[in-house]
Amino acid sequence: MPLTPGSWTYDEQRLQASFGTGAASFALRCDRQNRQVQLLRPGVTTGNVMRVQTTETTRGFPLSITPDSSATPYVNLSALDPLLDGIAFSRGRFSVEVPGLPTMIMPAWPEPARVVEECRG
């Protein structure tokens, strides 16, 4: 499958890597205090699972919704979760699926790896 159009940016203040063509369509955000990485997929979902596929693994996670006005679907992972290594070091790409939203195929660029490393301290 072809890559989703867009590119990665890194926000050092928010400890966040965002992917998209303007507004972020996907983001990884570090919660350093709790040593967790949030995977966020803005949009209206019709389900309750986020599926992430890397070169090595495919896993599904129950979705939560941010309590702010954006109501963004997300999952929290321990900063030590091996899936984050899979995202950072996947062979060229990884995908994220959320029901009701287009599947995203994103390149494994350095920005997601930086979020993971910052969160691990």
Structural domain includes residue 1 = no
CATH code (residue 23): 2.60.40
Structural domain includes residue 2 = no
**How is 69-104 classified by DSSP, letter by letter?**
TT--EEEEEETT-HHHHHHHHSSSEEEEE-TTS--E
Give the pTM. Answer: 0.93
Per-residue pLDDT tens over the stretch 15-67: 999 999 989 999 999 999 999 999 999 999 999 999 999 998 999 999 999 88
Structural domain includes residue 107 = yes
Please give the residue range of the domain that contains residue 82. Answer: 7-120
Least confident of 12-21, 36-45, 66-75, 77-86: 66-75
Tell me how many domains the chain contains: 1
Flag whether pLDDT at 14 surpasses 90: yes
